[in-house]
A and B are shown apart, each in its own frame.
Chain A
């Protein structure tokens, strides 16, 4: 009896802390949302946290009239290409690490482990040099290639750990049937690793979508601008038009919010996959 009451006794301190932190998290998000609906002229007169008395979507119109659609499409192209290529090349490499029993596979894994520790900030100057030398400066490819490179280590690590759980017998039986390595990759490895691909894919999409340093250093013109950079330039351009800037913030987070609602489990496990436990 005493045991049971100890188990179910509510943790009041914890609950207070939890709800307090919720307030800290939600207040800025609530503020972004209501301010984006506030008319420009009311921004200076109304209470910043009150519901706008003349709620309007004008701020969104101003943002969309300023090429936001193009920035959005640039971000979609960069994110989709970077994630697709990262998944494809990392899965092939992970297959080699798991199935190639000699030293090559092990060393590959070690390089990936080390690669996780390379900060983008530290490599940015040589990356800039390489991109300029290759004539790729201010193109979307200049964003895609380095993004792939820095996504590979963690992707390879997660996929490798996943492929190791596939029973040896499955590979053997396909090989007995005379399947080539490519066929095994297509017919066995790809279908079985679909959950891991989804997990790490959603995670890397979040990283690329929100990436700031590569676009800042490797692109320049409005033609190649991606969303995070556009938020920054809106801030300079609109200046005092805070509702428009925050409307752009809302639009920038919508795809990630959709991903979170549709694939919450994948996103959460992707974030903890490399380090959890």
Chain B
């Protein structure tokens, strides 16, 4: 089952909804394009005219600071007109359906939607039902996918480690509820990573997780052996009330990344986190702020990667 919906007839990016079904070549093209945008943010005039005259609407049905801000900056640096809407507090609370919201915005001559939504498949649904000239970028849908986050993580890994082939990557924490983890796993596998390992208690792993193309460990000390890249995931407070974990402190004891645990991984291992961080819950401050952490680098890379994806999805295509 592939997702051809996001490619046009020429195999170029039309929407960006999920990593699934995208080729290594296309993912590499995204990373290379992002590379060319890295310099833009350092210039005196932080703008390129690629999307001048285009209108981008950020539709956030769920709260977000980091993702929304970097999308907004990315759009502005591409010279697009950008409008950010937090829908959680407007139309849908008046009973307007998702589709009606989209149709109304379409009528205002929009060229691209950047969508975040709490339900899996929402971005997919919008891409299927929106006008054919509009591109849809998934900024996170439920527990399904967060492909731009995964690509900025790939970008960061490539910047430091150069090649994916020899790497062993550990993703630690709440895989079950994580759209970031799903997209990272697909991207790492598509880029030819030697091993993707998930480390979590069984309550935080989806059924048949190995079918995603990962190895599984329930023990951080064992799981960190030989690891080049450590990706920590945020632990939501709700996980305690829904009986998935006994307590934050027990979780930290078993799966929290501390300086001593970090020593088990390879000496040059890097530490990543999609944010926002829960200090003392999944990661110790010394590690989050330590020399092996690339967490803030991820944030800066977010802008270049999102610029790359937006410009690729909106480049003039032939008849699609």
Do chains A and B stick together as partners?
A: no
| Interface residue ranges, B against A (CB under 8 Å) | none
